[in-house]
Amino acid sequence: MHISTNPWVWIAAILTLAIYSFLYKDNPFYKFAEHLFMGLGIGYGAVLLWYNSIIPRLWNPLAHGTSPTRFFLLIPIALGLLSLGIFSRRYSWLIKYPLAFYMGAVTGLSVPVAFEANIFEQAQGTILKHSMFSNPWLGISNIIMFIGVITTITYFYFSKQHRGLLGKSARVGIVYIMLAFGASFGYTVMARISLLIGRMQFLLHDWLGIIK
Amino acid sequence: MIMFILLSTITVKAFDTPNDGGKSITIKAYNVPETVKKALVYRKTEGDTTYTLAGVMSILSYRFMDADSTIKNGKPYYYRVDFYFPDTVISVEADSPGIAYAQWYDKTKTSSLIFLIVFSTFVLVFIQLAKKDPEGLYIRKIPALDAIDEAVGRSTELGKPTFFVHGLLGITDAGTLAALTILRRVAKKVAEYDTPILVTNYDPIVMTASQETVKQAYTEAGRPDAYNEKNIIYLTYEQFGYTAGVDGLMVREKPGAIFLQGYFFAESLILAETGHSVGAIQIAGTTAKEQLPFFVAACDYVLIGEEMLAASSYIGREPVMLGSVKGSDWGKVFLLAIIGIGVAIGTIGSILQSAGNGALMNVFEKILAFF
Amino acid sequence: MGFWDRFLKIDRRWVFLIVWIAVVIPLLKPLGLPTHITPPVKKLYDYIDKMEGEDKAVFLSFDFDPSTMPELLPMGVAVIRHCFAKKIPIIVYGGLYPQGVGMAKMAIDMAKTDFPDIKYGRDYVFLGYVPGLYLVILSIGESIQGTFGNDYFGNRLDTLPLTMSIDNYEKIGIVVDLSGGDIPTWWVAFAYQRYGCRIGCGTTAVSAAQYYPYLQTGQFVGMLGGLKGAAEYEELLVRNGIPTGRRTATIGMDAQSVVHLLIILLIILGNIGYFYVRRRERRA
């Protein structure tokens, strides 16, 4: 056993145990750790915003820069300041300008790539090609995938009641959806256990030095 | 003699890389014997006496794209490629300099443009139709909507508050907007039943919108006096800080009904489990596909992905949301048609190709390449 | 009250305790269970391995925070070790969110202990946080120097040998993104679709299921899914004689396997109990 002498390891270990104490029942230690975490989150975010964004990207170029184009920075600063209008009933309409710019820019950047990455490539991958049947198991797998794509899409068709052929297809679709959820849930169980294992490794190795 | 033959067959061309924003030149080699081991590309500008190494040309495609940060538009660059053969090295200069330009239109994105126009047309047409006659556009009823009344009723019978937990994205997310429409329906019900409601928010702007929504709902229910702004609270902008805060509230207040609506991340199961542990009836709705399994397992009713948007359209009949749902339905039909036609052409083409006629298969390959 | 009634009403805290015991015992007494390599991990490993001797770099992005550290940090350490061992230039990026910088620094410090001849600036460069999210991904396609200016330590990028010659996606062989959310899809959308840069993904198990379509279409070269993916990569390093230091992911997999068996057992018992009680109530 080789207990750590690093005070930060001790603080992390004590806070870990305080949060885990919630599993037994709510208690002041958990509440303290919860509030500390919430406060730290806000404080850390504010400091990061100040030292990683505002100072190097806005203040330093404007105050200490020499490039004449640095004054273009005043435009995004002005747009950002307009969004503070949300806190005033009289001037809350000002937020529409930065919001419109932001949504326009985001849409312009993301819609074409979303089409390519999420629709075209995936649709191409769904279309059954000769090469997909290079071996029988691969062929069966691809047919199952193809049926799943079609029936799942029909489940999310809202313009008609799910009756007749559409209803049957939607019912097959929901089976596929639930199978996918089951796989995803199983993966998540693994993820959650991994986090617990990570914390236990920290406590047993870094803090108490019991394991190698 | 062999060197002379090699020199006379190999050609190198330098040209502007097509469909880009400029500052890039493509160098292509032709008639390169397969015995080549390596090909190095050298560059110089006008006035330079020596070439500098630009990079290594692929000996699979005989193509090299020079996108060095020093390349400027409109300036000629001269290239030389050194081909390394087992016994010799051949240097071939490009027959003309390459000049980089920016193109206004990227032809490779034509398929995206067509789809954008088609999908946008569907959505815009249906929005216009929804504005003229919102009741005329049919949306099937989502089963989970009936559960809203049941959940709030149960909360009232037990004398416990109703919780509405917003997701982690802001007001620009479609799921958050749908959640606000559902909140309006929930808030109207709690106002009618005189049940306390607590709305937790991750985003301050969503909190402001929630306050307006709940106030409006109370007014519509004829109970403006019962509205309490303090019931719509902002916790923190930190993911697990928010989760810890909501969990603490659930355990302390023990609500009868919990609505988890919006976009959630890893905290979804933590919230749903805690809600289940306090015995509340839970109705979840999220567009976060990776969180849906946990809501399905831990909640009583779930609005899966787009069902949430359809449910809010069904409740609110708001033209933009309604038109978007209908437009996306037609988009799905269009996509299914493309996939179906693609499969048909590919299958028939494959059969014909094995019978000796590859024309339809070529068409299929061209269609795939277009996308 | 019969056994199944008591079993179905068991206080969840007993389940927590049993799971905790199932995690701790394999950590205290390792079982040494074998690690089998799956195709998505092998593909990523082989792709990076083939970059040995090329003049292209690996770009490793740490887009995660301490909450997903147990799964993703071992992946980062393993990839960095792989690059160090094969002398593949690597640019370690602190990520699109500020929390990743601490994770990246930790990974570099853990990885470099076994490689004393690795030189900063020549073999690897550490880039800090720059705001802009996917705009940063796009900007890297134009110029890394223009996007970052300096490295994490304040050195100008145009003075470091590695970043003098590698300045955009043309000279990046693969971007490996370590993330617990949707960020790998951003790299696919902006770096792969627009600039043709190949993408590899290291993700938490929660997100792994949704990325198989991207693997199938080839948008991802390969994928490390969760702690198992990290353990498989560590195993590949060991099989190829690359030092791995303390194999945190592999050590954790024993506990992972035991807990999975426990959960399967509890699910089976829970379902048996549920149907037994329901059948008894129907009969009554």
Q: What CATH number is attached to the domain comprising B72?
A: 2.60.40.10
With beta carbons under 8 A apart, name residues in chain B contacting C99.
none
Last residue in a domain, options B50, B78, B99: B99
**C-alpha–C-alpha distance, residues B299 and B277, integer Å:** 11
- Residue B364: inside a domain: no
In this structure, the number of other CB atoms found within 10 A of the CB of residue B79 comes to 24
Residue C61 and residue C26 share a domain: no
Q: Are C195 and C164 in contact (CB under 8 A)?
A: no
Can you give the pTM of this predicted structure? 0.81
Q: Which of C13, C213, C252 is the closest to A194 by Cβ?
A: C252
Range of the structural domain that residue A164 is part of? 133-212
- Residue A56: inside a domain: no
With beta carbons under 8 A apart, name residues in chain B contacting C180.
266
Q: Do C145 and B67 touch (CB under 8 A)?
A: no
Of C178, C44, C222, C52, residue with least CA distance to C123: C52
- Residue A144: inside a domain: yes
Q: Are B139 and A158 in contact (CB under 8 A)?
A: yes
Q: Do A109 and C138 touch (CB under 8 A)?
A: yes
Chain A contact present for B138, CB below 8 A: yes
Residue C129 and residue C225 share a domain: yes
Residue B157 and residue B292 share a domain: yes
Q: Which of B68, B277, B289 is the closest to C210 by Cβ?
A: B289
Whether pLDDT at B6 is above 60? no
Mean pLDDT, chain C, integer: 92
Range of the structural domain that residue C265 is part of? 3-30+257-283
**C-alpha–C-alpha distance, residues C178 and C63, integer Å:** 6
Q: Do B111 and A120 touch (CB under 8 A)?
A: yes
Last residue in a domain, options B270, B294, B317: B317
Give the CATH number for residue C228.
Answer: 3.40.50
Q: Do C209 and A116 touch (CB under 8 A)?
A: no
Whether pLDDT at B325 is above 60? yes
- Residue A198: inside a domain: yes
Whether pLDDT at B115 is above 90? no
Mean pLDDT, chain B, integer: 89
Domain count within chain B: 2
For B272, how many CA atoms within 13 A lie in the half-sphere containing its CB? 26
Whether pLDDT at B1 is above 70? no
**C-alpha–C-alpha distance, residues C231 and B140, integer Å:** 47
Which of B309-313, C55-59, C72-76 is predicted with the least confidence, judged by mean pLDDT? B309-313
Whether pLDDT at B191 is above 90? yes
Whether pLDDT at A126 is above 80? no
Question: Mind listing the pLDDT tens digit for each residue in C161-172?
Answer: 999 888 889 889
Q: Which of B68, B240, B266 is the closest to C180 by Cβ?
A: B266
Question: ipTM, 2 decimals?
Answer: 0.87
Domain count within chain A: 1
Whether pLDDT at B2 is above 70? no
- Residue A64: inside a domain: no
- Residue B105: inside a domain: no
Sheet holding B25-30, edge to edge: B11-16, B25-30, B63-66
Which of A48-62, A193-207, B341-355, C96-110 is predicted with the least confidence, judged by mean pLDDT? B341-355
**C-alpha–C-alpha distance, residues B24 and B13, integer Å:** 14
Backbone torsions φ then ψ of B87, nearest 5 degrees:
-110, -10
pLDDT interval class at B8 (50, 70, 90): low
Last residue in a domain, options B99, B128, B162: B99
Domain count within chain C: 2
Q: Say what the pLDDT of residue C51 is.
A: 92
Q: Which of B56, B69, B266 is the closest to C55 by Cβ?
A: B56
Q: Do B293 and A160 touch (CB under 8 A)?
A: no
Chain A contact present for B134, CB below 8 A: no
pLDDT interval class at B350 (50, 70, 90): confident
Across chain B, the runs of DSSP E, i.e. the strands, are: 11-16, 25-30, 38-45, 52-56, 63-66, 76-84, 89-93, 98-99, 162-166, 197-201, 232-234, 257-261, 281-286, 301-304
- Residue B107: inside a domain: no
Residue B191 and residue B94 share a domain: no
Q: Do B240 and A128 touch (CB under 8 A)?
A: no
3-state secondary structure of C23: helix
Query: C178: part of which helix (H) or strand (E)?
Result: strand C172-179
Burial class (CB in 10 A: 0-12, 13-18, 19+), A70: middle
Partner chains of C (3+ C-beta pairs under 8 Å): A, B
Residue C43 and residue C26 share a domain: no
Q: A144, A197, A207, A211: which to substitute to probe chain C, counting the most C Cβ within 10 Å?
A: A197
Min distance C30 CA to chain A CA atoms (Å): 10
- Residue C223: inside a domain: yes
Chain A contact present for B168, CB below 8 A: no
Chain B contact present for A135, CB below 8 A: no
Question: Mind listing the pLDDT tens digit for each residue in B245-266?
Answer: 999 999 999 999 999 999 998 8
With beta carbons under 8 A apart, name residues in chain B contacting A185.
293-294, 297
- Residue A114: inside a domain: no
Backbone torsions φ then ψ of C146, nearest 5 degrees:
-65, -35
With beta carbons under 8 A apart, name residues in chain B contacting C209.
290
- Residue C131: inside a domain: yes
With beta carbons under 8 A apart, name residues in chain B contacting A177.
304
Residue B305 and residue B188 share a domain: yes
3-state secondary structure of A169: helix
pLDDT interval class at B300 (50, 70, 90): very high
Range of the structural domain that residue B181 is part of? 138-317
Q: Which of C167, C181, C204 is the closest to B69 by Cβ?
A: C167
Q: Say what the pLDDT of residue B3 is.
A: 57
What would the mean pLDDT of B115-119 be, rounded to a whole number? 89
Q: Do B339 and A127 touch (CB under 8 A)?
A: yes
pLDDT interval class at C225 (50, 70, 90): very high
pLDDT interval class at B7 (50, 70, 90): low
Of B70 and C233, the structure prediction assigns the larger pLDDT to C233
B240 → chain C, closest CA residue = C67
pLDDT interval class at A22 (50, 70, 90): confident
